[in-house]
Structure 1
Amino acid sequence: MRYQKKTLLLLITFVFSIYINAQDKQSDNASQVSELKKKDKKSKKRKKKVKLPNIDLSHWKVTLPVNNDKGRPYEISPPEIKDFALDEVAKPYMYIDSTRGAIVFHALPTESKTRNTKFTRSELREQMVPGENNVNWTFKDGGYMKGKLAIDEVTKDSEGKYHRVIIMQIHGRLTNEQRDLIGEDDNNAPPILKIYWDKGKVRVKTKVLKDLNASDTEILHEDAWGNDVGFNFEEEVGFRKFTLEVKVSEGKMVIILNKNEYKVYDSIHIKKWGVFENYFKAGNYFQTRDEGAYAKVRYYELEVSH
């Protein structure tokens, strides 16, 4: 009897030991599964953080604030611009911020300046035909540009005020025939639209004809046009993300901020402007030569249609 009790006790102890080991293994397995789930979630979060900007660059060329080997501003045109992220020269001035899903345009004062200006830029120029500057559009043709963007960084001047940045433009252009007619040596015409980030607000500038009685030939000259007084949208965008839309039709130009505020231009000056060809620009045209100054502009989205 004593032997049977001892045997039973040993059997119970053995079974209990097996049960405890099974519970420990089950707990270990559960812990491992939990840890794997945590790692999987972290991995998915890391994957979600990688974002790409919603911008098709196939109809844009970029001008950067650095010279090429001929001493002129460095440009990348289609189709090479699609691989701008691999261009070692471009990397400091135009690069992808994959955490925010944006292209960053970085500009600062350098010796690299485009003709007819003292300022530098990291800025896109529309090309309706990729790689070609001679095909552009008129207000009669119409055009639409929309961008979602934000100021990333910008320095201040000696008075503690933020430097200004032009973030969008419509630039005029003489046809070859118009250029030859007035005896110019290039196709440059004034910009009918400049949109600034100006101390946290969006400011719009356009051109006005100095003499409304000027002939169709006389208005082709750049000095026939002056600057208007400008317009400030009420909303202060600061360093937040915002949306700008530019709508152009015959004799009319509309600027829209965040689908909320509108500025309409439909005066005689805009109607007279119909003589010029045009192209859109977007990016960072930095408006200072102050030493040590710089600005960075993030573009999340950019689209153009005609």
Structure 2
Amino acid sequence: MSTPNHIKMLFLGTFLVLIAGLNFSCMNGGSDDVPVAVGNEDVDDDVTEEEEITSKLPEINLNNWKVTLPIGKPDEVKPPEILDYATNETLKPFFYNDSINGALVFYTYPGASTANSSYSRTELRELINPNDGGKTNWTFAQGGHMKGTLSMDEISKDNNGNYHRTIIMQIHGRLTDGQRDLIGQKDNNAPPMLKIYWTGGKVRVKTKVLKDLNASGTDILKTDSWGDDAGHTFSEYVGFEKFTLEVKVESGRMEVILNGNESVVYNDIHIQKWSVFENYFKAGNYLVSLDANAFSRVKYYDLEISH
């Protein structure tokens, strides 16, 4: 029995449609590879995560700072040379960018030290006037403000398994030329009124106190007239995480603030007596250890000062 013509035509049409669909699929690599419309957010799917990373720079203006290094006598780098620290061969091992996290890294170890210390440092020293060698400084009556965001990146341990300490901020005293000559001292060094330590994952503050409150105007200028206070350790554990420190100074008053939450204020007779000195800010990594294998690496993300 023969198949009716209209049935034959139906089979033929179906066959031709199937053949056409198969050819289209083959030309496009199979149905799973047929392009589909995507939004703009999908256009760069082939860009790797590494390719999307952009370099970040720390928010630190170095025009009014010089840096002391743990090498040389020790070596110092001042403006304008410090501004090119990324390409400065002397600075590169100790003072360099972490461009992933946007930080300036301070690396140090026991090495060269300054005349009035046994310890080494990679540390910034404030220069109000970069052209006069640090002779222009400030008093508590003039006031000052320093604020920085930083973290301990890595630090060695002693033989007992305890982390070494490092000083991360300071207010250092300075004698005027007249005061220096008055007490017969060979340089302009005066005691540091403020030292802020990273110690065991916490922030500890040390200040100076006058041993004899009745000391004469001449004796008060001498370093050995001043001793250390008992110190203050903030309760918050910062560990190796990022934290913010703020130092506020005005006549007869000094305040240190951690992360905007905890604060310690000094406004006693010792701060009032301190008014005879000039001062300058310091920030960085001043390692308090002479152990042969000691080292520390501190990161600063931002740092600002004002008066």
Same fold (TM over 0.5): yes
Within a 5 Å distance, the mapping from 1:167-246 to structure 2 comes to 167-246=168-247
Q: Residues 82, 32 of structure 1: CA spacing in aligned structure 2 closer, same or farther, 3 A cutoff? A: farther
Per-residue deviation, 1:91: 1.4
Per-residue deviation, 1:137: 0.4
1:59 paired with 2:39, answer no
Per-residue deviation, 1:11: 4.8
Instruction: State the aligned residue count.
Output: 298
Number of the residue aligned with 1:249: 250
Q: Residues 13, 205 of structure 1: CA spacing in aligned structure 2 closer, same or farther, 3 A cutoff? A: closer
Aligned residue type for 2:283: A
Give the whole-Å Cα distance in 2 for the aligned partners of 1:139 and 1:108.
33
Tell me the TM-score normalised to structure 1 length: 0.89
Query: Contact 2:28/2:34 (CA < 8 Å) preserved in 1?
Result: no
Which moved further from structure 2: 78-87 or 245-254? 78-87
Aligned residue type for 1:223: D
Q: Residues 38, 257 of structure 1: CA spacing in aligned structure 2 closer, same or farther, 3 A cutoff? A: same
Which moved further from structure 2: 276-285 or 14-23? 14-23
Aligned residue type for 1:152: D
Structure 2: tracts of 5 or more residues without a match: none
Give the whole-Å Cα distance in 1 for the aligned partners of 2:279 and 2:201.
28
Number of the residue aligned with 2:117: 117
Report the 3-state secondary structure (helix = DSSP H, G, I; strand = E; otherwise coil) of the residue aligned with 2:106. strand
Structure 1: tracts of 5 or more residues without a match: none
Bigger Rg over Cα: 2
Q: Residues 31, 43 of structure 1: CA spacing in aligned structure 2 closer, same or farther, 3 A cutoff? A: farther
Number of the residue aligned with 1:37: 44
Query: Contact 2:108/2:295 (CA < 8 Å) preserved in 1?
Result: yes
Q: Residues 20, 137 of structure 1: CA spacing in aligned structure 2 closer, same or farther, 3 A cutoff? A: same
Give the whole-Å Cα distance in 1 for the aligned partners of 2:206 and 2:25.
80
Query: Contact 1:54/1:300 (CA < 8 Å) preserved in 2?
Result: yes
1:127-155 Cα deviation digits (max 9, x unpaired): 11124300110000000001111111111
1:241-299 Cα deviation digits (max 9, x unpaired): 11111000001100111111111101111011111110000000000100111111111
1:87-133 Cα deviation digits (max 9, x unpaired): 122111111111221111111012x1111111000000001112430
Give the whole-Å Cα distance in 1 for the aligned partners of 2:301 and 2:278.
28
Query: Contact 2:119/2:289 (CA < 8 Å) preserved in 1?
Result: yes
Per-residue deviation, 1:22: 6.0
Query: Contact 1:76/1:84 (CA < 8 Å) preserved in 2?
Result: no
Aligned residue type for 1:117: S
Give the whole-Å Cα distance in 2 for the aligned partners of 1:260 and 1:20.
65
Number of the residue aligned with 2:302: 301
Within a 5 Å distance, the mapping from 1:73-92 to structure 2 comes to 73-92=74-93
Give the whole-Å Cα distance in 2 for the aligned partners of 1:106 and 1:44.
28
Query: Contact 1:77/1:131 (CA < 8 Å) preserved in 2?
Result: no
Per-residue deviation, 1:183: 1.5
Number of the residue aligned with 1:130: 130
Q: Residues 37, 291 of structure 1: CA spacing in aligned structure 2 closer, same or farther, 3 A cutoff? A: same
1:266 paired with 2:267, answer yes
Give the whole-Å Cα distance in 2 for the aligned partners of 1:44 and 1:272.
57
1:146 paired with 2:147, answer yes
Aligned residue type for 1:296: R
RMSD: 2.5
Give the whole-Å Cα distance in 1 for the aligned partners of 2:271 and 2:252.
5
Give the whole-Å Cα distance in 2 for the aligned partners of 1:261 and 1:93.
31
Q: Percent identity?
A: 53
Query: Contact 2:139/2:278 (CA < 8 Å) preserved in 1?
Result: yes
